[in-house]
Amino acid sequence: MNPHMKTFLLASVVVFLIGDLFANGGGYITGGAERSGDITGFEPQATESIRMAEEDLHIKLGPKRAKVEIRYRMENLTKQSVSVRFGFPVEEVPAVQGLGIGAMLPPAGDFDVHPEPLYCQGYRLFDGKKEVKTKWQAEKRSALDDRFSHLAGWFVSEVAFAPAEAKEWTIRFETIYPFKRSSVSEDEFISAARFKYRLSTAACWAGTIGKGRIVLEPDGIDPDELQVIKPANRFQKMGEGWVWEFDDFEPSLADDFEVEAQPEISRYSSYSEASDPNELGYEGRGHRWSIIHANYEVTASSTLLPEGDRGYDPGNLKEWGRAWAEGATGSGIGEWLEIKPKVAKPLSAITFVPGFPEKSLFIANARPKRVRVEINEEYSTTAEIEDGMATVRIPVSGYNKPVSKIRLVIEEVWPGARFEDLCLHTLRLHVRVDRKPNFQPAR
């Protein structure tokens, strides 16, 4: 790659929209980006002596975040000892609502140096089995060069290579999907959840990528919703995920990829007089629609005895603000709910909210951490649940028969701080429909 192309590459990779992710230890080119005013980006050292012989990138795309593991084989092409200094550039997370991480950065311009990033959470680099010390280096803002306006900074590391030495590196981190949420009355709109990876930044290392494999794996999301937005004709469908394999490859900007883990979502509440009283709402996910209802009968393996006028029957799952609580001795592992829809129809998903609905009692009681869902005694799926009060969506993927019976089995729990009783509430069934339902949105 000629030096002019490398200078252009830096300018391209540091100006991203919300949610972009840098990759391959790049996002910079030797010498930085210089122009009038002496604006200089991060300068790596000796990367031109090291080749990325292999890259194996595995991305597990969940409902709220992606878990990333990258394994590299890095080779010193010289007959001399080399100390290489490199960084992993990180985008800032703008101050938008709906991130679900409990902290927001101030709007652009409100500070000169970015704090430690909210993106690339838990970033760790290993040289073999030894963890390499990583230092966060923030990027100073400048009014002279808008290429740095969305760049929070870098995770910077140094690794020594013996002459002609090859090393096995591993990078692990998790990243949220920044998104925007808006609402009108009880209707809600959520932007698509997307993950982006800049393969082109491998240009800062010597030569080509010798051998590469990129795996996109759905992890608790509907595999049918996992879509490769770009580039075209690189990834191949393999099982429920996507795979891209290559040899002796020098990526260009056209090879940076973007993946949609969850489409744009529109949710509408049913409140018009013409609505079916059993229909509680409607959900559009991309171009696919479902009707949300609680028209079912439900039984439980056990139920906590009532306390005064507060009951914990499984029928509470059909109502707002009331919970089912199991009544068995112990943490609730092995307890179950059995749901029988009054009208058997194919389902797109099952949703519920973990824990007790009152915030003050949420931590006090146990919550589901892993559940197994069995449908019609012939389909089964397992869901891992992050701890929180957000709605859990368990997609029913690859099963298109009418559903007459569902069993939800608790396999692991988040223990309560005060009580062993496990609770959950607001259980809803999502019925797959062929076209957008006829309803009146809120005004």
221 contacts: CB under 8 Å, gap ≥ 6: 61, 62, 63, 261, 262, 395
Which tens digits make up the pLDDT trace of 115-165?
566 678 899 999 999 999 999 887 765 544 444 556 677 889 999 999 999
List the 135-138 sheet strands across, edge first. 82-91, 151-161, 135-138
Looking at residues 211-238, what average pLDDT do you find? 96
Q: How far is CA 216 from CA 62, 153, 226, 251, 397, in A?
A: 11, 26, 9, 18, 17
Kindly tell me if the per-residue pLDDT of 276 is higher than 60: no
Tell me the C-alpha distance between 32 and 138, whole Å. Answer: 15
What are the DSSP calls for 191-222, one per residue?
Answer: --EEEEE-GGGGGGSBS-EEEEEEEEEESSS-
Looking at residues 343-351, what average pLDDT do you find? 97
Kindly tell me if the per-residue pLDDT of 402 is higher than 90: yes
Kindly tell me if the per-residue pLDDT of 30 is higher than 70: no
In this structure, what are the phi and psi dihedrals at residue 12, rounded to the nearest 5 degrees? -75, -35
Q: CB of 85 within 8 A of CB of 241?
A: no
Task: State whether CATH 2.40.50.140 applies to domain 3-262.
Answer: no
| % of the chain beyond a pLDDT of 90 | 62
Give the pLDDT confidence score for residue 141 in this predicted structure.
57
Kindly tell me if the per-residue pLDDT of 35 is higher than 50: no
Tell me the C-alpha distance between 384 and 372, whole Å. Answer: 9
* Report field, pTM of the whole predicted structure over 0.95: no
User: How would you write 307-348 as a 3-class SS string?
Assistant: ECCECCCHHHHHCCCCEEECCCCCCCCCCEEEEEECCCECEE
Pairing of strands 187-190, 181-184: antiparallel
Kindly tell me if the per-residue pLDDT of 271 is higher than 70: no
Looking at residues 47-56, what average pLDDT do you find? 95
> Which residue did the predictor score with more confidence, 387 or 153?
387
- Residue 334, Ramachandran bin (φ over 0: left; ψ between -120 and 50: alpha; else beta): left
Give the pLDDT confidence score for residue 252 in this predicted structure.
82
Kindly tell me if the per-residue pLDDT of 176 is higher than 70: yes
Give the burial string for 391-402 (b: 16+ CB within 10 Å, else e).
ebbbbbbeeeee
428 contacts: CB under 8 Å, gap ≥ 6: 280, 292, 293, 294, 350, 351, 352
Q: What's 109's DSSP letter?
A: T
Per the prediction, the chain carries an average pLDDT of: 83
Which tens digits make up the pLDDT trace of 293-344?
999 999 999 999 999 889 999 999 999 899 999 999 999 999 999 999 999 9
Structural domain boundaries in the chain: 3-262, 293-431
Extract the tokens encoding 377: 């005694």
pLDDT band at 443 (very low <50, low <70, confident <90, very high): low
Give the pLDDT confidence score for residue 270 in this predicted structure.
72
Tell me the C-alpha distance between 313 and 198, whole Å. Answer: 51
Q: What's 359's DSSP letter?
A: H
> Which residue did the predictor score with more confidence, 132 or 187?
132
Q: What's 294's DSSP letter?
A: -
pLDDT band at 273 (very low <50, low <70, confident <90, very high): very low
Type of residue found at 130 = K
Could you tell me the fold of the domain covering 293-431?
Jelly Rolls (2.60.120)
Of the candidates 62, 64, 68, the one whose C-alpha atom is nearest the C-alpha of residue 102 is 64
pLDDT band at 280 (very low <50, low <70, confident <90, very high): confident
Kindly tell me if the per-residue pLDDT of 8 is higher than 90: no
Kindly tell me if the per-residue pLDDT of 227 is higher than 50: yes
